[in-house]
Amino acid sequence: MVSVSTDAAMRRAIELAARGLGSTSPNPVVGCVLLDVNGELVGEGFHAYAGGPHAEMVALAQAGERARGGTAVVTLEPCDHTGRTGPCTGALIQAGVARVVIGVPDPNLVASGGAATLRAAGVEVEIGVRAAEVEAGNIAWLTAVRRGRPYVIWKFASTIDGRSAAADGTSMWITSEAARMDVHALRGTVDAVLVGIGTVLADDPRLTARNLRDGSLAIRQPLRVVVDSEGRTPADARVRDGAARTWVVTTAEVGATKEDRVDLDALMTGLYQRGVRAALLEGGPTLAGAFLAAGLVDKVVGYVAPKLLGAGPAALADAGPRTISEVIDLEFVDITQVGPDLRITALPRKREG
């Protein structure tokens, strides 16, 4: 028999958790590995969809009696409440698990408290194993729950000189099919896709997640959100078809700013209430600028084509800075070639307050 260290088991649990990206919201992605008394892997699982069995329950079902006296290695603190499923703490205790190793605590006040319950039942609990990696794999949900608003990813596509379209307004296609397929995969991991009315009127996008090769739709579709202050979205716009749910957000519904634009803070609250934990901001430059100016962008994903235009709309409009000292600093976390294009992933640096 080959024993597995808890560190290696947590690595495996993180891999398992990632399989639930895009299908568990408003629940988190969670992975669990069960080791028996000899350290042998006897069960594993992940949370696949909201309302379905939690990772711990799947792993316990695989392990059976071999879980008794063993160790459960789980990315997120086991839940301690009854929702659509029962509490995982009770199941772990009943199964006779002797030790639970946790990546990060659960910030959800409704479900938290699992570690204390386990300890009270005599179970040894360790928290913080590979915490940084667990955080990274579940960053959208963890951040959203801690703040009470969605985690926002701003995605843009541009030429190498920062143009999102030519001078005559044409933009199909700046980036390659490989990059566009990558974007559809990204859409499949979020709960909502946001655009402004300008993008709807100019491009009439569908905003669905699909296979570009055959046009087939992904099984799970994000909520399509149009930020449309005055309700100008045409009745026959493709975003209003039946392929996915759509929310046309007007000032009459969520309130307005001094400039008579949709109140973005109210929009974020409305999205969170609708179960949105991760949102993809896709367009256009004006809406992106407003989100950045409001400090609502958590991650930037840019697809940059090896092309030059020299004229035409920029990928980003006014985002707040008036002088170089006010620039929005980013930290590159990944640069990958996708077809002929570059996908650049960056995080806004926290400003010194």
DSSP 143-166: HHHHHTS-EEEEEEEEETTSBSS-
Query: 148-348 adopts what CATH topology?
Result: Dihydrofolate Reductase, subunit A (3.40.430)
**Among the options 15, 40, 44, 56, which is catalytic?**
56
The pTM for the full model equals 0.90
Task: Quote the tokens at residue 185.
Answer: 């995969």
pLDDT of 1 strictly over 60: no
Query: 6-138 adopts what CATH topology?
Result: Cytidine Deaminase; domain 2 (3.40.140)
Active site annotation includes 56: yes
Stretch (H or E) spanning 197: helix 197-203
Is 171 assigned to a binding site? yes
What are the residue ranges spanned by the domains of the chain?
6-138, 148-348
If one counts every other C-beta atom within 10 angstroms of the C-beta of residue 215, the result is 8
pLDDT of residue 234: 95
pLDDT for 167-191, tens place per residue?
A: 988 888 899 999 999 998 999 889 9
pLDDT for 239-297, tens place per residue?
A: 999 889 999 999 999 989 888 899 999 999 999 999 999 999 997 899 999 999 999 99
Is 203 assigned to a binding site? yes
Is 306 assigned to a binding site? no
Task: Quote the tokens at residue 342.
Answer: 């570059």
Is 325 assigned to a binding site? no
pLDDT for 42-97, tens place per residue?
A: 999 999 998 899 999 999 999 999 999 999 999 999 998 777 777 899 999 999 99
Is 309 assigned to a binding site? no
pLDDT of 353 strictly over 70: no
Cα 74 from chain centre: 20
Percent of the chain whose pLDDT exceeds 70:
97
pLDDT of residue 352: 55
